[in-house]
Amino acid sequence: MLTQEEVSRYSRHLIMPEVGVDGQEKLKAAKVLLIGTGGLGAPVAMYLAAAGVGTIGLVDFDVVDVSNLQRQVIHGTKDIGKKKIDSAEETMRDINPLIKIVKHEVALTSENALAIMCNYDIIADGTDNFPTRFLINDACVMLNKPNVYASIFRFEGQATIFAAEGGPCYRCLYPEPPPPGLVPSCAEGGVLGILPGVVGLIQATEVVKLILGAGEPLIGRLMLYDALAMRFRELKLRKNPECICSTGDMKLIDYDHFCGIQKPEPPPLVGEISPKDVKTMIESRQDFILIDVREPHEFQIGRIPTSNLIPLGELPKRIAELDPNAHYVLHCKMGGRSAKGCDVLRAAGFKRVFNMTGGITAWSEQVDPTVPKY
């Protein structure tokens, strides 16, 4: 039953035949788990709260950073340093105090995923990494719960519903993750701030449609959105009969291992050098060449004065410009791309090649805070 307060609040829903009192009661009874309260999670959480989804669970363990605010509109400047889950809850309560918000301040793992997810009807995946996406998929298949999925990169988004009754799962589309380093993350590749707004609201729309049982759900179809071209395209997704979601072999595994990710704090690799040591080398005028493998637009944001810009993509072509006997230190934003750059040089026979750990972000933190972090 809807209260009088709810009738007033949701009146624009109630006068629509596609929602009506029955639909609003379904929304009120629904339990939706949002995994991630970042770029995608922000609009999903705000609109689902506004729409009157009765129970919304949030999973996040991160804190609000100033660089989040360009797109994570659920958090504000006053929230910097606060737990994202608390900041998100505050915004949602302001939008709609009538709903229940359940906070799960954890990283989703193979150990806790089933226990958390089993309390919800629908899962919305707004995470930012492959291990968690495979984990969410596998748990949704095991629990038989739809996974309303979206992901974003720069100007491009993908959205669909996985693991719905009879529909394909994430593994039907991508049986395996890419090896680390081959596909850039948002932190390395960037993302247009507005993009998660558009793509997140596709997710929110599909959540609401699933709850209402209305329209044609985005099952068996992959929606691709290109913001630069302002074009939506749709591709067919099929349930792969050879996928483990069909053969029944699904169990939760070590997803970091599956995705080729080393455990935290791996021993430093030979060939790495800290920002502080690089600073000492510069100050003592040691003979070495510092190469920044980031893109020109990142170089513009901030740079180490003695660095030379050669974007990673151009490195193989420009290798002939470089003396293979010289001493090199490579850096990027966080250390991922420059590690690949080091591999490129080493493969070409360069002997003295070092990767600056943590990239210019660590440089800013440890050496020169006037270099902006981004």
Positions in the binding site for other proteins (CB under 8 A) = 36-41, 60, 62, 125-130, 133, 150-156, 158, 173-178, 182-187, 189, 191, 196, 222, 224, 226, 229, 233-238, 240, 311, 313, 316
Nearest distance, CB of residue 39 and other proteins, angstroms: 6
Nearest distance, CB of residue 103 and other proteins, angstroms: 16
Catalytic residue among 172, 243, 332, 342: 332
SS3 250: coil
Comparing CB distances to other proteins, the nearer of 126 and 275 is: 126
Is 118 a residue of the active site? no
Give the long-range contacts of residues 249-257, CB within 8 A, separation 24 or more: 250/138, 250/141, 250/142, 251/138, 251/142, 252/110, 252/113, 252/114, 252/135, 252/138, 252/139, 252/142, 253/110, 253/138, 254/110, 255/110, 255/130, 255/131, 255/132, 255/134, 255/135, 256/131
Catalytic residue among 169, 186, 245, 259: 186
* One-letter amino acid for residue 220 of the chain: G
Nearest distance, CB of residue 278 and other proteins, angstroms: 26
Comparing CB distances to other proteins, the nearer of 23 and 157 is: 157
Q: How far apart are the first and last CA of the chain?
A: 48
Is 332 a residue of the active site? yes
Nearest distance, CB of residue 221 and other proteins, angstroms: 9
What's the rounded Cα separation, in Å, for the pair 209 and 12? 16
Rg of the chain over CA atoms, in angstroms? 23
Q: Strands 352-356 and 272-273, how do they pair?
A: parallel
Comparing CB distances to other proteins, the nearer of 60 and 206 is: 60
Comparing CB distances to other proteins, the nearer of 119 and 174 is: 174
Active site residues: 186, 332
